Amino acid sequence: MSLFSSKNINKIFLSKKSKFDIKDKTDLILSPEFYWVRIFTVPVKTAKEALEVLPTLFEDILPLATFSYKAIKLSDEKYLSFAYNNDEILEHIKKSNLTFTQIGSVYFAQTELKEFSSFSIENSTYTYSEDELLLKIPNAFIQDAVNIEDNLNNLSFSNEKVDLKFYSNILDIKYLYKFSFLFLLFIIINIFRYSTYDKNIDLVAAKIDKIKQSYNMPQTMIQTNSIINKLQRKAKYEIKITQAMSYVLDFKKSIKKGTIEKISFKNKTLIIDFIDIDSSAIKQYLQKKYNIARNINKNNLTRIEMKI
């Protein structure tokens, strides 16, 4: 199917000696030089089925090369059969100064110029034989052949286009399509994976928000970390106070003589008043674990202040 409209497209006749200076989109009529044409009787019902046997039928006629084939049904079991060298046509398209992108549709002259029994173009003469096959003949054979150079644009084309493979000579088209299909499959799978991940990322964010709400947490992690650090410092400090108190109260395990008169804790300072105690012994005991900020000895009273 043509991707572009065929209206107002140039129509040109391509022979092996053609040279063009055209930039517009162009439909091509292939000179008989580019193909072999025969009428074969093949016991099949469709042109598609006939196409399968054409390589065998053309085998004895064609030179050694790779050919493409086309079959047009004429009547029951009778097929107008073409063989053409795709690469050779492409080569001559290039030689004629045309580019592949400006080529619209391609037709065989055999099927498109039937209204002229014989004609001339580019100083060559062509005629339809008795069995209606178009042949190139020497100019001298027919003197009054119609020059169709100026009439080409008025032609109405048939539906029998040549399926010219413009790019198939680089890689096998079948593999290209298979790989392209595989790529397309990967792309679809990846789109699905991407959207699933995206959805799950949103779910994770929603879950975090839910936890924040249920635990009454602040909105940012900086705030959360700050509160956690503050509470951890608080917990550590309170444990330190408890341990210090316990250590002070356990002084009897090391020092037999003396009692505690008073313990006071305020503004991070622990003040202990001892009565009748060996001052240096209690200092030594407490200094094992804590720094003594102040020490007062008065009569039988020993006061020790420790910063916790």
H or E element, residue 307? strand 301-307
Q: How far apart are the first and last CA of the chain?
A: 91
**Minimum gap (Å) between residue 211 Cβ and other proteins:** 5
H or E element, residue 195? helix 173-214
How far CA 156 is from CA of 28, 111, 113, 116, 245, in Å, comes to 13, 11, 9, 13, 112
How many Å apart are CA 79 and CA 115, to the nearest integer? Answer: 20
**Minimum gap (Å) between residue 67 Cβ and other proteins:** 18
Return the residue of 165, 252, 289, 307 that touches other proteins, per CB under 8 A.
165
The answer to whether residue 95 forms part of the interface with other proteins (CB under 8 A) is: no
How many CB atoms sit inside 10 A of residue 126's CB? 25
**Minimum gap (Å) between residue 149 Cβ and other proteins:** 25
**Minimum gap (Å) between residue 285 Cβ and other proteins:** 19
The answer to whether residue 101 forms part of the interface with other proteins (CB under 8 A) is: yes
**Minimum gap (Å) between residue 62 Cβ and other proteins:** 23
**Which amino acid would we find at residue 298?**
K
How far CA 47 is from CA of 37, 43, 44, 79, 158, in Å, comes to 15, 11, 8, 7, 16
How many Å apart are CA 79 and CA 58, to the nearest integer? Answer: 13
The answer to whether residue 193 forms part of the interface with other proteins (CB under 8 A) is: yes
Q: Which is nearer to other proteins, 102 or 127 (CB)?
A: 102
Task: Name the phi and psi angles at 227, rounded to 5.
Answer: -65, -45
The answer to whether residue 206 forms part of the interface with other proteins (CB under 8 A) is: no
Q: Which is nearer to other proteins, 22 or 227 (CB)?
A: 227
**Minimum gap (Å) between residue 6 Cβ and other proteins:** 11
Task: Name the phi and psi angles at 80, rounded to 5.
Answer: -80, 115
Which residues from 254-283 bind other proteins, rule CB under 8 A?
261-266
Which residues are at the interface with other proteins (CB under 8 A)? 2-4, 101, 103-106, 161, 163-168, 170-171, 173, 176-177, 179-180, 183-184, 186-187, 190-191, 193-194, 197-198, 200-201, 204-205, 207-208, 211-212, 215-217, 221, 224-225, 227-228, 231-232, 234-235, 238, 241-242, 245-246, 249, 261-266
